[in-house]
């Protein structure tokens, strides 16, 4: 076991450098502000929706409250074969001239697509009148300054692609706190990586990109057989052609909020879906970073299992977990402050063992198993 202990120490040493680099990079990202709208760009917001009857109304209400000039804003909701009352809820908003409903089944004949969401976005873009595309999810709520900030960054910096922050609303349950803390760290890494042009990271719940750039890189062609990746895989295609025109919008007024998964099975399926594209990135820096972090967690878990009946060894495991927590804490605390969620940090140490377990399980299942998403079995 001594060998594994030293292997873990080696990984922790490298991990400390990596996390500190993310922390410093996050702190270097300038806050972006915008007062009155500066842009005159016509924007189309595309919202793919499947079985979101409980969430889509809040999403659309938030989009209708955008401070961006109403004559320059269009909202397209693409209903992806919903089997609940999602379409009826959307139709109740069609008295607003800005909102347009597209039913995906009117445009496709193939009901065994590997990537329905990509097809929904693709059709939405084809039907759009905007020059700049914003995407969010049907279970998300956007702040009133969101479209204005995205359009202003696009105009000021000639941005071709903008990744922007997403927050999971935290609740009182262990499940919601766990998701929020995990997502805070992912968002911090996203901002740091994009700012440093290290690799392409983003979340489809809060994206903006130039429509002409989408077509210039061939849209989702070449990645349309992969179930997920409508965000990061597309971002990388655009990054390869416009490397200096990719930005992260760091502004509290641009944070899109989403609800946490309601049960552990749904959370695991979501994370498996994210992990399933890990080996699909052209940019192998992402793969090697993910593999490095995965191996650290794997060796920690293996060390715990191997030491299960050895109290001294178990104590060593918890010492290693504390070291890992000390490495991560300054970074996650800084990012959590930006998201107004630093009150969650009191749970950070206690959730570390659970996070290690979930990382190993989700990473392995993402590569070797099927998963269910929106009542579809995928992969």
Looking at residue 153, what is its pLDDT? Answer: 94
Final residue in a domain of this structure, among 196, 225, 260: 260
The residue behind tokens 């495991």 is: 317
**How many angstroms separate the CA atoms of 128 and 41, rounded?**
13
- Looking at the structure, tell me whether residues 253 and 295 fall in a common domain: no
pLDDT digits (tens, 9 = 90+) for 99-130: 999 999 998 876 677 788 999 999 999 999 99
Q: Say if 353 falls within a structural domain.
A: yes
The residue behind tokens 């042009």 is: 197
**How many angstroms separate the CA atoms of 150 and 161, rounded?**
10
Model confidence, pTM: 0.91
Q: Say if 276 falls within a structural domain.
A: no
| Bridge partners (DSSP) listed for residue 372 | 377
The residue ranges of DSSP E strands in 42-141, in sequence order, are 43-49, 73-79, 99-103, 132-135, 140-141
- Looking at the structure, tell me whether residues 136 and 12 fall in a common domain: no
- Looking at the structure, tell me whether residues 47 and 146 fall in a common domain: yes
User: Which residue segment(s) compose the domain that 301 sits in?
Assistant: 2-26+281-378
- The DSSP 8-state label assigned to residue 199 in this structure reads S
Looking at residue 176, what is its pLDDT? Answer: 93
- Looking at the structure, tell me whether residues 17 and 45 fall in a common domain: no
Q: Say if 44 falls within a structural domain.
A: yes
- Looking at the structure, tell me whether residues 91 and 223 fall in a common domain: yes
Angle (nearest 5°) at CA 91 between 89 and 95 = 120
Number of domains in the chain: 2
Q: Say if 201 falls within a structural domain.
A: no
Q: Say if 35 falls within a structural domain.
A: yes
- Looking at the structure, tell me whether residues 94 and 229 fall in a common domain: yes
Q: For the packed helices 284-306 and 352-368, what is the interaxial angle rounded to 10 degrees?
A: 120
- Looking at the structure, tell me whether residues 90 and 22 fall in a common domain: no
Q: Say if 333 falls within a structural domain.
A: yes
H helix or E strand, kind and range, residue 307 = none
- Looking at the structure, tell me whether residues 160 and 252 fall in a common domain: yes
Q: Say if 256 falls within a structural domain.
A: yes
Radius of gyration of the chain (CA): 21
Signed CA dihedral, 123, 377, 229, 115: sign only: negative
Tell me the CA distances in angstroms from 113 to 129, 193, 228, one per residue in order: 26, 31, 12
Q: Which residues of the chain have pLDDT under 50?
A: none
The residue behind tokens 């990719």 is: 246
- Looking at the structure, tell me whether residues 123 and 218 fall in a common domain: yes
The residue behind tokens 């410093």 is: 24
- Looking at the structure, tell me whether residues 303 and 340 fall in a common domain: yes
Contact assessment for residue 213 and residue 161, using Cβ atoms and an 8 Å cutoff: yes
Q: Say if 275 falls within a structural domain.
A: no
Q: Give the CATH number of the domain where residue 65 resides.
A: 3.90.550.10
- Looking at the structure, tell me whether residues 137 and 212 fall in a common domain: yes
Pick the closest to residue 47 from 111, 112, 93, 113 (CA basis).
93
- Looking at the structure, tell me whether residues 228 and 92 fall in a common domain: yes
């Amino acid at each position: 076991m001594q060998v594994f202990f030293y292997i873990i120490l080696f990984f922790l040493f490298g991990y400390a450098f990596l996390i500190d680099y993310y922390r410093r990079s996050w702190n270097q990202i300038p806050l972006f502000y915008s007062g009155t709208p500066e842009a005159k760009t016509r924007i189309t917001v595309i919202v793919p929706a499947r079985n979101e009857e409980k969430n889509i109304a809040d999403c659309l209400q938030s989009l209708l409250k955008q401070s961006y000039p109403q004559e320059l804003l269009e909202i397209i909701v693409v209903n992806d074969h919903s089997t609940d009352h999602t379409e009826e809820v959307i139709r109740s908003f069609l008295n607003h001239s800005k909102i347009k409903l597209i039913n995906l089944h009117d445009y496709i004949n193939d009901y065994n697509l590997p990537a329905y969401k990509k097809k929904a976005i693709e059709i939405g873009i084809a039907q759009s009148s905007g020059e700049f595309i914003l995407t969010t999810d049907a279970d998300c709520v956007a702040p009133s300054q969101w479209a204005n900030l995205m359009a202003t960054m696009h105009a000021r910096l000639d941005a071709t692609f903008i990744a922007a922050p997403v927050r999971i609303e935290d609740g009182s349950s262990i499940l919601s706190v766990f998701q929020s803390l995990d997502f805070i760290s992912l968002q911090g890494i996203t901002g740091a990586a994009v700012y440093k042009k290290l690799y392409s990271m983003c979340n489809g719940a809060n994206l903006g990109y130039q429509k002409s750039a989408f077509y210039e890189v061939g849209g989702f062609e070449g990645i349309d057989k992969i179930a997920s990746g409508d965000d990061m895989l597309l971002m990388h295609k655009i990054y390869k052609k416009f490397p200096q025109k990719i930005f992260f919008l760091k502004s509290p007024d641009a944070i899109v909020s989403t609800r946490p998964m309601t049960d552990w099975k749904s959370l695991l399926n979501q994370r498996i879906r994210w992990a399933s594209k890990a080996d699909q990135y052209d940019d192998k820096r992402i793969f090697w970073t993910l593999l490095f972090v995965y191996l650290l967690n794997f060796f920690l878990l293996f060390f715990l299992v191997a030491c299960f009946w050895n109290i001294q060894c178990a104590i060593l495991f918890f010492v290693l977990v504390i070291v890992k927590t000390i490495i991560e804490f300054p970074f996650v605390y800084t990012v959590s402050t930006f998201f107004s969620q630093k009150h969650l940090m009191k749970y950070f140490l206690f959730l570390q063992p659970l996070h290690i377990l979930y990382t190993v399980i989700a990473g392995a299942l993402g590569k070797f198993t099927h998963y269910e998403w929106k009542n579809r079995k995928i992969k």
